């Protein structure tokens, strides 16, 4: 693994359509924008920033709208996908660049993919971690998720839809909830196949009732403090509002129905991540949906938080992909 970059990470605030975006940048060279997922922050990329900097890139990890020190608009519809794409464009412009390569994890993978889809002039290569690209199509997302679970159980995406509901569960003990959520989706701490599914909640119950105890290997107590401190300060509403715009996104993106991503692309997932299992058909469709695919990798035994669980492997794959992507016409 590369040694830490001599260039220290720098925190900055730059203007965005919602007000401001907080970012952390390290290194010099072609711009690489790193977009986190739920419930995380720029800090999710702490193991990538110095490695990408040492490889000759200007690595920039943002707090997505609603998180950390970035702006948190009150309106739920301010968190629709097209708004988040424009935040990324604003970051690129504020940093004095005209284009970037974009990398996303979890919801950040969706933001990265749609940034490349909607603004290919700005985002000329795209890497997705844990959540594969699946073109817009089919029924409304709310209709799909409403049928997941069934009976006395509700899928977590549906559980997150009603404003205030999940907040009431999480905010009284943010640190404990985050610890359980991270553990539930990590390969070394996730519940076994005979345990209740942590992606489901008993109607009238709480999601956390199915979380395991203990921290995954990739997360120390002090690192958990960083995540918890951010959400204790901001609350969870901005982060959860991403889930509350899925039907709006489906409407907004109607003109991109079935669209492929032509840019040089990369996918990295884990074999023990539910996202790669649920979306296996999307991975199988990559020859059609990602014609510029440079590599698709499923890391054996890895869970959902892949760039933190398996940092060395992910860093190697990112650097290899970036070398191809930066030389593409």
What DSSP line would sit under 50-98, residue for residue?
A: HHHHHTT-EEEEEPPTTSTTS---S-GGGGSHHHHHHHHHHHHHHTT-S
Please tell me the number of Cα atoms within 13 Å of 72 on its side-chain side. 16
87 is catalytic: no
Ramachandran class of 324: left when φ > 0, alpha when ψ lies in -120 to 50, beta otherwise: alpha
Q: For residue 37, which phi and psi values (nearest 5 degrees)? A: -115, -155
What does the angle CA 38 – CA 210 – CA 110 come to, to the nearest 5 degrees?
A: 20
Q: For residue 109, which phi and psi values (nearest 5 degrees)? A: -65, -40
Structural contact between residues 180 and 208, judged by C-beta atoms closer than 8 angstroms: yes
Strand, coil or helix: what is 114?
A: helix
Nearest to 104 by CA among 267, 237, 250, 217: 267
Nearest to 307 by CA among 49, 55, 120: 49
Structural contact between residues 79 and 161, judged by C-beta atoms closer than 8 angstroms: no
74 is catalytic: no
Out of 22, 36, 199, 304, pick the active-site residue: 304
Distance CA(279)–CA(259), nearest Å, equals 17
What DSSP line would sit under 28-45, residue for residue?
A: SSSEEEEE--TT--GGGG
Out of 63, 106, 249, 273, pick the active-site residue: 106
Nearest to 231 by CA among 18, 40, 4: 40
Active site residues: 106, 304
């Amino acid at each position: 693994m590369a040694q830490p970059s001599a260039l220290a990470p720098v925190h900055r605030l730059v203007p965005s359509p919602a007000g401001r975006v907080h970012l952390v940048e390290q290194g010099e060279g072609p711009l690489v924008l790193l977009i986190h997922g739920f419930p995380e922050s720029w800090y999710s990329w702490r193991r990538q920033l110095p490695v990408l900097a040492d490889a000759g890139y200007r690595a920039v990890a943002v707090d997505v709208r609603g998180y950390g020190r970035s702006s948190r608009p009150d309106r739920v519809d301010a968190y629709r996908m097209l708004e988040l794409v424009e935040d990324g464009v604003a970051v690129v412009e504020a940093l004095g660049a005209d284009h970037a390569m974009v990398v996303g994890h979890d919801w950040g993978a969706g933001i990265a993919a749609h940034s490349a889809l909607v603004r290919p002039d700005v985002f000329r290569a795209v890497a997705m971690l844990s959540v594969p690209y699946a073109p817009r199509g089919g029924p409304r997302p709310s209709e799909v998720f409403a049928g997941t679970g069934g009976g006395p159980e509700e899928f977590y995406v549906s559980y997150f839809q009603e404003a205030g509901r999940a907040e009431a569960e999480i905010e009284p003990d943010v640190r404990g909830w985050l610890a359980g959520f991270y553990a539930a989706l990590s390969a070394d701490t996730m519940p076994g196949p005979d345990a209740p599914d942590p992606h489901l909640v008993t109607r009238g119950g709480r999601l956390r009732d199915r979380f395991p105890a203990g921290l995954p290997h990739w997360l120390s107590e002090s690192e958990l403090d960083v995540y918890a401190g951010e959400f204790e300060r901001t609350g969870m509403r901005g982060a959860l509002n991403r889930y509350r715009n899925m039907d709006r996104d489906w409407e907004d993106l109607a003109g991109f129905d079935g669209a492929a991503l032509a840019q040089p692309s990369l996918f990295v997932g884990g074999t023990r991540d539910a996202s790669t299992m649920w979306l296996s058909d999307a991975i199988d469709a990559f020859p059609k949906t990602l014609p510029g695919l440079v590599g698709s990798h499923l890391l054996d035994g890895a869970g959902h938080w892949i760039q933190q669980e398996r940092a060395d492997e992910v860093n190697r794959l990112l650097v290899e992909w970036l070398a191809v992507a930066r030389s593409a016409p």
